[in-house]
């Protein structure tokens, strides 16, 4: 799953557009020495991004970041499901 795909999922869950700075970041390119080409961050798979992020020296392990992302996505999905179920229940009660 790419960063673009993750952000699109977040956009759907949050029911709001992507922040401009996030969009700018996703369109930023970095040079890949292994591929000898420039790659957009948005086109990077999450695992590859985490490896690049880890190499920057920031003290957050890939496992911690994955857990953080997973926890927040699960919470947002739960909220979305609850909201959809409530909307359906509310419409059924009216009929």
Residue 37 pLDDT > 60, yes or no?
yes
Domain ranges of the chain: 3-94
For residues 92 and 46, the model is more confident at: 46
Q: What is the dihedral of CA 60, 12, 5, 38, to 10 degrees?
A: -80
In angstroms, the CA 83 to CA 25 distance is: 31
Task: State pTM to two decimals.
Answer: 0.57
pLDDT band at 32 (very low <50, low <70, confident <90, very high): confident
**If you average pLDDT over every residue of the chain, what do you get?**
80
Higher pLDDT, 54 or 37: 37
Rounded to an integer, what distance in angstroms lies between the CA atom of residue 80 and that of residue 48? Answer: 29
Closest CA to 47 of 90, 92, 93, 5: 5
Q: What residues have CB less than 8 Å from 40, skipping those under 6 apart?
A: 26, 27, 28, 29
């Amino acid at each position: 799953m790419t960063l673009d795909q993750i952000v699109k999922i977040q956009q759907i869950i949050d029911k709001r557009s992507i922040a401009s700075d996030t969009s700018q970041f996703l369109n930023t390119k970095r040079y890949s020495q292994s591929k000898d080409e420039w790659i957009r961050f948005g086109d990077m798979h999450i695992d590859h991004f985490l490896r690049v992020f880890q190499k920057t020296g920031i003290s957050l392990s890939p496992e911690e970041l994955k857990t953080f992302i997973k926890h927040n996505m699960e919470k947002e999905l739960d909220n979305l499901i609850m909201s959809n179920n409530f909307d359906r229940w509310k419409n059924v009660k009216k009929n």
